[in-house]
Structure 1
């Protein structure tokens, strides 16, 4: 792992779940959505979310949600083929129906096929299943963002991360590539004590839809060959699979381990372990 980082010329970091690993704000977001649901299903609403976090529900980080059919899809991250589909109650879609509904490469679009890349998407999918509106999710999301700048909220800093980035910046390009909006990114970096450490920040990148496009732009900017670049993140769909397909190295932050074997892939439980 140390050799991989030291031999690279470009490090591309995700933000949420990578530079900080707190999850309380996801629970807060879900509570706000729960309050917007009909009273009779509010307990069931939050209970489904709790099952997702524990891995006891078909919906989970790393899956894809089919908004049209209300299905949790298992997708091969390298071929983008749907390998399984499950209803909300866990029952599988019949094989014949699976092949008919998902005949080829799945294209994420944020409209029908939602890549559940991190904890933000679990409350969102729960809200969609229980009949809330897009406006409900947007209002609750913005309220959560306000909570994250209040005195009630604080982020945990990864030990040694700032010092490591300061050292690495001396002879490597450090890039931040995130789906978060620019004002949120700058605020979070300041709270984490990491502001000013990245050569370039790419906010609102619409991963995974535009991951390859942005990665190509970053490589071209500094004329870096893929094998000298490393994509670092907690979202296999968003940051890891596209990087591997383009020939980059990748560091996947996953505390529960990961079974996929790839020559360019390194799996670590936390970002602290990467440094």
Structure 2
């Protein structure tokens, strides 16, 4: 893994699911949202959420969710082209219906069209399916919980020392959808608050990922092959990097290896320095 990073001048990291890999806060968020679901539907909500986590539901990380139509979309991660569309119960809709509804390229806005990139989005999508209007209050309560004594982030073994070592010869940038206040709290909790040369919060990935990468290439005067993007969301961090000719490290605990010249797959960031 070290050799994969040797030629890099710039390394761009994601935050959630990358620099920390805990998932308990997703369950906490899901429980708060369940209280907003109509009481007679809460059991169904919980069952759907548990099936999502187990990979047994039509809603899965790596797909997209059309809130208005309550449709689950399967995408080509490199082109974001829709390949299949399903109803909540798993029934596939026709190509004619796909062509009618999705004539323009998808624009993910985190409200009506959702890229299900990590565990935060599973309870969100379940809540939207069951008619919850306000998810933001529960999200904020979860973020507040994450900085209390009742919650402790698990520090990835070797991560801090590895980043300190990497910083000696590379420029390190953080690009995340989390807002600046959350970023500050999380980095301090992880003892990584002095690591990054440049932080891009509220990045609106995947919609703006390519734009961010292009600006970083120019700012740091790098060629694409001299930049590595590291993240746990293929659509958000990996596909845009590969399209631009960058290299990428995809963090996925169960994904079968697809190591290529430009891509390395690891189950955890701890493997980066192993």
Give the TM interval when normalised to the shorter protein: over 0.9
Which residue in 2 is equivalent to 1:242? 240
Which residue in 1 is equivalent to 2:136? 138
1:126–1:145 Cα change, 3 Å? same
Matches within 5 A, 1:121-160: 121-133=121-133, 136-160=134-158
Contact 1:79 1:105 in 2 (8 A): no
Hey, what's the Cα distance between the residues in 1 that align with 2:82 and 2:61?
16
Name the SS for the 1:231 alignment partner. Answer: strand
Displacement, 1:104? 5.5
Displacement, 1:182? 0.8
Hey, what's the Cα distance between the residues in 1 that align with 2:144 and 2:195?
25
Counterpart selection for 1:193 from 191, 210, 213: 191
Which residue in 1 is equivalent to 2:252? 254
1:263–1:104 Cα change, 3 Å? farther
Matches within 5 A, 1:94-113: 94-103=94-103, 105-113=105-113
Displacement, 1:274? 1.7
Which residue in 1 is equivalent to 2:85? 85
1:86–1:21 Cα change, 3 Å? same
Name the SS for the 1:55 alignment partner. Answer: coil
Hey, what's the Cα distance between the residues in 2 that align with 1:160 and 1:146?
27
Displacement, 1:112? 2.6
Residues 187-232 of structure 1 show CA distances to partners (whole Å, capped at 9, x for unaligned) of 1111111110111111111111111111111111110111000000
The RMSD of aligned alpha carbons is 1.4
Hey, what's the Cα distance between the residues in 1 that align with 2:116 and 2:226?
29
Displacement, 1:261? 7.0
Q: Which runs of 5+ in 2 are unaligned?
A: none
Displacement, 1:108? 2.2
Hey, what's the Cα distance between the residues in 2 that align with 1:261 and 1:268?
9
Hey, what's the Cα distance between the residues in 2 that align with 1:252 and 1:222?
23
Hey, what's the Cα distance between the residues in 2 that align with 1:104 and 1:82?
11
Which residue in 2 is equivalent to 1:217? 215
Contact 1:86 1:93 in 2 (8 A): yes
Name the SS for the 1:250 alignment partner. Answer: strand
Displacement, 1:137? 0.3
1:262–1:110 Cα change, 3 Å? farther
Structure 1 segments of 4+ aligned residues over 3 angstroms from their partners: 258-263
